[in-house]
Amino acid sequence: MIADRIISKMGEGTFGQVLECFDNEKKEVVAIKIVRSIHKYREAAMIEIDVLQKLARHDVGGTRCVQIRNWFDYRNHICIVFEKLGPSLYDFLRKNSYRSFPIDLVRELGRQLLESVAFMHDLRLIHTDLKPENILLVSSDYVKVPDYKFLSRTIKDGSYFKNLPKSSAIKLIDFGSTTFEHQDHNYVVSTRHYRAPEVILGLGWNYPCDLWSVGCILIELCSGEALFQTHENLEHLAMMERVLGPLPQHMVLRADRRAEKYFRRGARLDWPEGATSRESMRAVWKLPRLQNLVMQHVDHSAGDLIDLLQGLLRYDPAERLKAREALRHPFFTRDVRRCGYPL
């Protein structure tokens, strides 16, 4: 039995599709992920089920990661039954014309995200695909508030208002790429915009690759758009250097054979000489330094946020903040009185 009643299609991806269904037995609405009957997707689905069951055993309150209700094999399609949650942070931003979230909401989302990552890392699990699409609001409820950046426009213009979630409660989803600490860590992981430098340079990766992704996500929530919008390694590294300064020599010198071509003699990035187009050069040059980027979008707490991001976006994974270290950062502890965003 696939479901008692299909309500709607919630989304689809390379893996298959997700349906909103009504479970007659439990009398609740659930989400069912139906995986394509292709070996690699079935394999990823079985990994996801294994991870979800491990997470559920340790996450007693079920507050950090999406809860698995059941799973079954239907005509060679693995079907995973989940609790029904709200929209992803990406979908919320998209439907809101990519308008940024207020800093107090970013703080609350960031705190929960880091708590979920710390929880996974304590269990020796690395998510490897953290991005706004894989962070879901628990509730779909939202409120309309004036958007002060658009106060000069008329009230009739919809851009005068923006939507904000009523509750900041979030959960992580999509554990199909999650790996255990002891597994091979030499292949490419993460969605491009959130991929850490050690992955691009072929240096191997571990827990810190998740923290790099968290840094990229926090900037996106503050600014409304992804920081490194690229699909090519050299351009990606050039964007990193533009925002964060030069890559450390010791990492460049250890880069694997495939990544060597991105550098000139003397271990300097082959940029702009190696750029494929003027558009690519412009995409890099228009990016501001990290401090300026944050100051453009954040008023209070900007200094603390910049310092936190510098810790999360350290090139050397050995020097990058760990999840529990990040949670002790003044960005989360100093402004406790401001953290009035409802969970």
Rounded to the nearest integer, the mean pLDDT of the chain is 93
| pLDDT value of position 159 | 61
**2 has pLDDT over 70:** no
- Backbone torsion region of residue 160, taken as left when φ is above 0, otherwise alpha when ψ lies between -120 and 50, otherwise beta: alpha
Using pLDDT thresholds of 50, 70 and 90, give the confidence band for residue 341. low
pLDDT the model gives residue 84: 97
* pLDDT at residue 318, as a whole number: 98
Confidence of residue 29 (pLDDT cuts 50, 70, 90): very high
| pLDDT confidence bin for 339, thresholds 50/70/90 | low
Q: Give the relative orientation of helices 290-297 and 208-223 as an angle to the nearest 10 degrees.
A: 40
Percent of the chain with pLDDT over 70: 93
pLDDT of residue 112: 98
Q: Across the strands, what pairs with 269?
A: 263
Nearby residues of 187 by Cβ (< 8 Å), 6 or more positions away: none
Q: Looking at the predicted structure, is the pLDDT value of residue 158 above 60?
A: no
Three-state DSSP class for 217? Answer: helix
pLDDT of residue 186: 83
Half-sphere exposure of 291 (CA within 13 A, CB side): 3
Tokens 């009504």, residue?
22
In degrees and rounded to multiples of 5, residue 107 shows phi and psi of: -60, -45
| Alpha-carbon gap, residue 131 to 118, rounded angstroms | 16
pLDDT tens per residue across span 224-250: 999 999 999 999 999 999 999 999 999
How far is Cα 45 from Cα 119, in angstroms, rounded to an integer? 21
**Distance between CA 188 and CA 131 in Å, rounded?**
16
Per-residue pLDDT, averaged over 191-208, amounts to 98
How far apart, in Å, are the Cα atoms of 106 and each of 34, 144, 259, 324? 32, 17, 34, 18
Catalytic residue among 59, 129, 147, 174: 129
Tens of pLDDT along 90-146? 999 999 999 999 999 999 999 999 999 999 999 999 999 999 999 999 999 999 998
Q: List domains and CATH numbers for the chain.
A: 5-83 (3.30.200.20), 89-227+287-338 (1.10.510.10)
Q: Is the pLDDT of residue 36 over 90?
A: yes
* Residue 184: per-residue pLDDT: 79
Known active-site residue 129: yes
Mean pLDDT of 257-272: 92
3-state secondary structure of 259: helix
Sorting pLDDT into bands at 50, 70 and 90, what band is 88?
Answer: very high
In the three-class reduction of DSSP (H, G, I as helix; E, B as strand; rest coil), residue 8 is classed as strand
Q: What is the pTM of this model?
A: 0.94
Rounded to whole angstroms, what are the CA distances from 305 to 168, 222, 293, 302, 330?
19, 10, 11, 5, 9
Q: Please tell me the predicted confidence (pLDDT) of residue 39.
A: 96
Q: Which amino acid is at 122?
A: D
Element housing 282 (H / E): helix 278-285
